Amino acid sequence: MSKEDFYSLTPDEVMNALEQEGFVPTGQFTQLNSYENRVFDIHLEPGSPKAPRVVVKFYRPGRWSEQAILEEHGFIEDLAQAGLPVIAPFALRDGKTVSLGHGIWFAVFPRAVGRMVDEFRTEDFRRLGRTLAHLHNVGATKKAPHRPVLTTEAYGDESLRYLQGWIDPDVMDRYNAAAESILNACRPRLARNKKMRIHGDCHRGNILKTDFVDRPSEFFFVDFDDCCTGPAIQDFWMLLSEPESSEIGKQELDLLLSGYEELRHMDDDEIRMIPLLRGLRILYYAAWIARRWEDPSFPQLFPQFLEYDYWANEAKALELIAARV
């Protein structure tokens, strides 16, 4: 199926895909927010054996192979088997967790009930640190050869090359100079750090909290779409409310690490890579927007992307990081 068909995926096509896998939708649905994929909350007919409601995720064509999606699901299943709070997809009719619907890979998940957390408390950080250690211990047990590897070349160099036609000319020299400084510092350090399966996009929006009457509330991880092979510290820094160089950011990082190191050691060299990883993220995120610009939703979601102020602010952010390396 073409990207244009993905952009205009209809409710009927979604329902038909579910029905081919034995689900019986009522026709009631809600499209959920997702920049990268098409995700739907679907009501099923009463008495459905798996769940009264499911979440169906249609993957953007051309991004992941079937093997890469199955490795994402395999990681989630490994975590679930180890007792971690994650949402594993259902096995479908052929026993796999991914299927083709109208030419698009899709998966079906139980609908999870949880809420985003506005503010983490001291013990929340420690508990998240312990959970991340558990997640990384599981991640280190297997390889994921079809998932991306977080390297300077793949996430930084390729992104900077792609952005050359997008950066505002008035700040291009500043932007490129700061980016190159970050990439040159990052390259040897990221290459030598140990890597394993990680969440990869571990920000606060991908951690939800449950509120159960019969047991203590807990955090659970969602959206492993960007899971990759990378350094453990990548799953830390996006959880901080401020950069780790600030007093608040340092306190939060110390709390996360205090929980993490109850179960797993974190090297100081990895911790010192946080600013470099933030720089990689700035480049990768901007290139991601540029690569998706043909998607009709992206110019609406990021209208400032073609403006001088966007690139001037990005150049300044890169320069602040470059000054520290």
Active site residues: 201, 223
Angle, nearest 10°, between helix axes 308-322 and 172-192? 40
Q: Which two tokens stand for residue 280?
A: 């990689």
SS3 for 32? strand
Outline where the chain has alpha helix (H): 3-7, 11-20, 66-81, 122-139, 152, 158-162, 172-192, 247-260, 268-271, 274-291, 297-301, 308-322
Q: What angle do CA 259, 264, 267 make, to 5 degrees?
A: 100
Q: Which of 80, 90, 22 is nearest to 54 (CA)?
A: 90
The answer to whether residues 257 and 130 touch, using CB atoms and an 8 Å cutoff, is no
What is the full DSSP assignment across 168-193? -TTTHHHHHHHHHHHHHHHHHHHHHS
Distances (CA, A) of 28 to 40, 106, 110: 10, 19, 16
Q: Which of 190, 160, 172 is nearest to 269 (CA)?
A: 190
Question: Quick one: CA dihedral 249, 252, 256, 258, positive or negative?
Answer: positive
Phi, psi of 228 (to 5 degrees): -155, 180
Distances (CA, A) of 89 to 65, 69, 216, 252, 259: 17, 11, 24, 32, 29
Exposed/middle/buried for residue 58 (C-beta within 10 Å: 0-12, 13-18, 19+): buried
